[in-house]
Structures are given as C-alpha cells and as structure tokens.
C-alpha cells in the first residue's frame, strides 16, 4: 500500500470527509471565442435573423423602431420569443420609454449607453451583454434583447412570463402530518419555496448551465455556513464538467453524477418536497434543482435516507422509530423472502414443522410446473399488474391492480398452475415493496430479488448467504460524493444519530460523516423553559 492510499484509509477510519480525486475541483473553463456585437445595427439584425431563421420561425418576434437621444434618432430593434415574455411589460417598460421619452428631463446626454440604461429602461433587471452567445442565451431564457445603433452592446431585459402550473400537493410523497407543498417545473418558483422555509441569508443558490445545446439551468443550493466546502466543490465540479447536448430531467442528471452505475443502487435522493430538501440543507447537504423538472436531487445520499419519510420529522420518536422498523423489515422481505422460500422448499425442508411441510407438499400435488417456474411466473405477473396500474389513468389504476391480482391469483390456484402458499409469499413480498418510501430504492430491491431467487434455487441457504455477503460488501464499498454509503451505520461514530431517531432535544450535533462546518445544531439544553 502506497503512502497516498494509507493516508486516505487513515482519514476514512477516523470518519473524516473523504472526497474523490477531482483535480482539485477545478471548474471547466468557459469558451470565450464568441462573436462580439457589432456597432452597426444592420449587421446585428442580419446576424440575429440568420441565427433564428426568422423567415420560418413563427414565434420569434423582431420589432424595429427609432430612439430619440442627443438630438437625433437611433435605429433600434428588440427581439424576443412569443409565449415566454410578458407583452405588457415590453410595451410599458421597454417600447414606450424608448419611443416616447416624455418624462426624461435631459434628452441630450453625453453618454448614450448610460442614458439608455439609467433613464429609459425602468425594468427591475437589465444586464449589458457584449457577445451573441450571451444574446442567444438571454433570448432562449425568455428575456427581451434590445439593440441600438452605434452601440456594440445589447441590453438583456428580464420580462419572462412562463405558463406553468401552480404549487400543488405532492403526488408521490404523500404524508398526513406536515406541509402540503411540492416543487413545480419552474426553477425560480422552486428556489422561492426553499427560501421561504429556510429564511436565512446563508442559503446560496448558484446557477450552472448544463448542455451544449439546451443550456438547461441547474441550481446548486447549500448553506454556506454549514455545508462542507469540498462537498460543494465536488458537486459544482461534476455539473460543470458534463459534456452533453441536452439535459431534460433530474433522472438523466442523476445517472450522469453517480460514481458507480453497475450496482444499480440510487446514489442521490430524489424528492418533490421542499420541506424534505430544507431538512437536508440544515444537515449540510447540497440540493440540485433542474429547470423544467418538479424534482430535486440531494447529495450525498446514504442507505438510511431511502427508508426515511418526511413524516418521520413530524412524529414523536416512538412512532417514527416504529415506522422505521417496519420499513426496514419491509426492505428485507422485499429482497429476500421469495429466495428464502424457494431455498427452504427445495433444499432445507427439515427446518419446517412437519405439519407445515405436509401442507406445502399437498398444496403442490396438482401443480405440473417446477417450483422455480411457478415462483417466477407469479413474480412477473405481479410486476405486470403493478406496471399496468401505473400506466392507466389514475381513477382506474388502483382498481386494475386490486381486481387483477385477485382474479389472477384465484384463477391460477383453481387451475392448478400455482399453489396457495406461493400466492401468499408473492403477495406479502409485493405489499412489503410498497412500504419503501423511495421509488428508486424500491425498484433496486425488486430487481435484486430475482438474483436472490436464482441463488436460492441453485444453492439454497449457501447461495443466499454468499449473495448477501457480496451484496453487503458492495454496499459498504460504495460512496456517494465521498461519503460512505452505509453511514451512519458503518463506519459508526458517537457523533452520528444512527438509524433510529432520537428525541428532538437530544439532536445536539449534526452527523459527523458529512463533516459540516457547523457541528452543533442546537444547544445542549434546548428546552430552557424547563430549567
């Protein structure tokens, strides 16, 4: 073992933050070889018309007019995309002041640029851009770009007005007790939801465009006084060094940011709930928002996060830990129960009580198929019913799932294709999979369940034991943005809260595996009214 590996292992054993090697988190340099804006208005107009194919693009609007300044008229034009802008704002705060500068006391300034920027554009956000790369970026984002003759810059005026749905209740992460707001497809609305809850100036939201063509806006959100600087730098480094043409969803981004893809376990948390994001922000984690997507990604992720429900925060520790125990058992059942069943019935019948063994054998007397075929048939049928219930319209989706399972199971037993005990095993496994709060982690367990079925059919308990050993070894070796995936279970530390939730008044410290800047989350005596 060389010195570098020895030092890295030493740090990991002491539970310090270990970030992967990323060349000192250097952000990819931007390309500055962009075409500059011309002083001649006609050249700028020709360039824009050619760039946006205005002869065939029906939603590109170019409005030419003249601006009065310095006792002369300057040819001008604005360009915007119809449907992305507020037309009233353009008329009242762009065209009217420029074409009819009645309220301006000094219409003959010495500096045309400052006169336009400071006196004729009463809009809250106006930026000056110097190249056509920035011009196109502003137009594509829904801004209005203003060009004036003799000026080799353009004015990027924020007049965006997207048509989007309002903030609604969460559809996939439903809780009984707690906030009832979810993210929408507008990134600015999503950041406002975070700021409304956090209510602190230390919340930083950085924009990083991803996609050589789409330039999708991604927001990196973190608490600058809590989050580890190496973690923030690693997230920004990975986002800035993605070379793809387009980014369309958080699911696509999740795959691009993961360190290990072959294992299939999710390495980032996906959520539609702002309150859940804020909980992790206060822990020192990083939130990634993608414009056009109602989901956020949270980094880093550990295995316990996928068994966490936002409702746990709003329940008393006794009730929350009871539910966490149920979810842990449900995860084990989802992964191992069918494999254990086939291992017992094929290799280890001696561990069953005699009456139960005779009951299982008598139930299979008329079944013509081998045990493995019988089990796989019912597992695939259950997955088929589940998928059908998701794809059909929601009012009848649940009906198809319930009725389909009842009819199919009863018909299969009456026809002698499967045994009743197998229907019970498959049903318990399916119900347990629904108790997993995170969809991606539940999907991972459902897929790996078939691997353990094959191992149980091939080698019984020995095969399942070897498979479980390899599975746990892979989990322990996995990292999410430098953080061990099995934290805080292992490596264990007294500074970590563990899997089960302590009372609120005992949550004095943040989890040490995140190496936060601010380790204490509250005073040792938080309920001072008692003392």
Same domain, 464 and 412: yes
**Whole-number percent of the chain with pLDDT over 90:** 55
Same domain, 224 and 345: no
The 8-class DSSP code of residue 138 comes to H
Residue with tokens 């006794």: 318
pLDDT band for position 494 (50/70/90)? low
Q: Give residue 198's domain range.
A: 187-301
The 3-state DSSP class for residue 494 equals coil
Same domain, 334 and 477: yes
Per-residue confidence (pLDDT) for residue 33, from 0 to 100: 55
Same domain, 352 and 452: yes
Same domain, 231 and 128: no
Number of domains in the chain: 3
Per-residue confidence (pLDDT) for residue 442, from 0 to 100: 93
Per-residue confidence (pLDDT) for residue 111, from 0 to 100: 82
Same domain, 364 and 461: yes
Average pLDDT, the chain: 86
**Whole-number percent of the chain with pLDDT over 70:** 89
pLDDT band for position 108 (50/70/90)? low
Same domain, 137 and 192: no
Decide if 513 is inside a domain: no
Same domain, 295 and 336: no
Same domain, 369 and 457: yes
Decide if 163 is inside a domain: no
The pTM for the full model equals 0.86
Q: Angle at Cα 356 formed by Cα 354 and Cα 357, nearest 5°?
A: 65
Same domain, 56 and 136: yes
The mean pLDDT of 168-197, rounded to a whole number, is 92
Same domain, 354 and 395: yes
Res 16 pLDDT > 50:
no
Q: Which residues of 412-442 are buried (b: 16+ CB within 10 A; e: fewer)?
A: bbeeebbbeebbebbebbbebbebbbbebbb
Helix axes 371-391, 420-434, angle to 10 degrees: 40
What is the spatial distance between Cα 139 and Cα 157, in angstroms, rounded to a whole number?
10
Decide if 517 is inside a domain: no
Same domain, 143 and 218: no
Decide if 3 is inside a domain: no
Q: How far apart are the first and last CA of the chain?
A: 55
Res 404 pLDDT > 90:
no
The mean pLDDT of 180-201, rounded to a whole number, is 94
Per-residue confidence (pLDDT) for residue 285, from 0 to 100: 96
Decide if 35 is inside a domain: no
Decide if 492 is inside a domain: no
Per-residue confidence (pLDDT) for residue 7, from 0 to 100: 39
The mean pLDDT of 121-139, rounded to a whole number, is 91
The per-residue pLDDT for range 419-459, each reduced to its tens digit, is: 888 889 998 999 999 999 999 999 999 999 999 999 999 99
Phi and psi at residue 309, to the nearest 5°: -115, 140
Decide if 250 is inside a domain: yes
Decide if 165 is inside a domain: no
The per-residue pLDDT for range 236-255, each reduced to its tens digit, is: 999 999 999 999 999 999 99
């Amino acid at each position: 073992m060389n010195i570098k590996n020895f030092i890295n292992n030493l740090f990991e054993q002491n539970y310090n933050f270990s970030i992967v090697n990323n060349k000192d988190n250097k952000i990819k340099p931007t390309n500055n070889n962009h075409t500059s804006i011309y002083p001649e208005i006609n050249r700028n107009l020709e360039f824009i018309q050619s760039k946006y194919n205005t002869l065939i693009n029906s939603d590109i609007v170019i409005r030419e007019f003249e601006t009065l300044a310095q006792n002369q008229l300057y040819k001008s034009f604005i360009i915007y995309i119809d449907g992305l802008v507020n037309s009233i704002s353009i008329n009242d705060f762009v065209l009217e002041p420029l074409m009819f500068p009645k309220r301006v006391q000094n219409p003959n300034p010495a500096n045309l640029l400052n006169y336009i920027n400071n006196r004729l554009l009463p809009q809250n956000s106006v930026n000056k851009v110097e190249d056509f790369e920035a011009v196109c970026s502003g137009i594509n984002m829904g801004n209005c770009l203003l060009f004036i003759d003799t000026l080799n810059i353009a004015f990027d005026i924020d007049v965006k007005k997207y048509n989007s749905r309002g903030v609604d209740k969460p559809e996939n992460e439903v809780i009984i007790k707690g906030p009832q707001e979810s993210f929408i497809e507008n990134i600015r609305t999503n950041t406002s939801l975070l700021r409304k809850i956090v209510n602190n100036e230390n919340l930083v939201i950085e924009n990083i465009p991803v996609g050589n063509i789409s330039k999708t806006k991604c927001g990196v959100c973190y608490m600058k006084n809590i989050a580890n600087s190496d973690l923030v730098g690693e997230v920004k480094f990975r986002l800035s060094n993605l070379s793809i043409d387009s980014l369309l969803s958080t699911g696509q981004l999740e795959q691009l940011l993961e360190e290990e893809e072959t294992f299939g376990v999710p390495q980032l948390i996906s959520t539609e709930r702002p309150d859940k994001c804020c909980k992790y922000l206060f822990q020192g984690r990083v939130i990634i928002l993608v414009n056009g997507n109602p989901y956020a990604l949270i980094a880093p992720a550990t295995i316990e996060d996928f068994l966490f429900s936002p409702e746990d925060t709003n329940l008393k520790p006794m009730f929350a830990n009871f539910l966490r125990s149920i979810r842990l058992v449900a995860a084990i059942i989802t992964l191992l129960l069918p494999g254990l069943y086939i291992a017992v019935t094929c290799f280890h019948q001696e561990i069953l009580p005699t009456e139960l063994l005779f009951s299982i054998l008598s139930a299979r007397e008329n079944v013509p198929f081998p045990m493995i075929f019988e089990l796989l048939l019912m597992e695939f049928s259950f997955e088929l019913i589940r998928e059908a219930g998701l794809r059909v319209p929601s009012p009848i989706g649940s009906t198809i799932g319930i009725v389909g399972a009842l009819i199919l199971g009863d018909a299969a037993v009456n026809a002698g294709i499967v045994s009743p005990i197998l229907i019970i095993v498959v049903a318990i496994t399916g119900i347990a999979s629904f108790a997993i709060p995170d969809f991606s982690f539940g999907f991972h367990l459902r897929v790996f369940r078939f691997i353990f079925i094959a191992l149980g059919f091939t080698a019984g308990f020995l095969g399942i034991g070897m498979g479980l050993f390899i599975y746990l070894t892979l989990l322990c070796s996995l990292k999410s943005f430098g953080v061990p995936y099995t934290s805080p279970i292992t490596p264990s530390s007294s500074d970590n809260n563990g899997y089960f939730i302590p009372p609120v008044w005992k949550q004095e410290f943040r989890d040490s595996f995140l190496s936060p800047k601010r380790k204490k989350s509250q005073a040792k005596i938080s309920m001072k009214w008692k003392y």
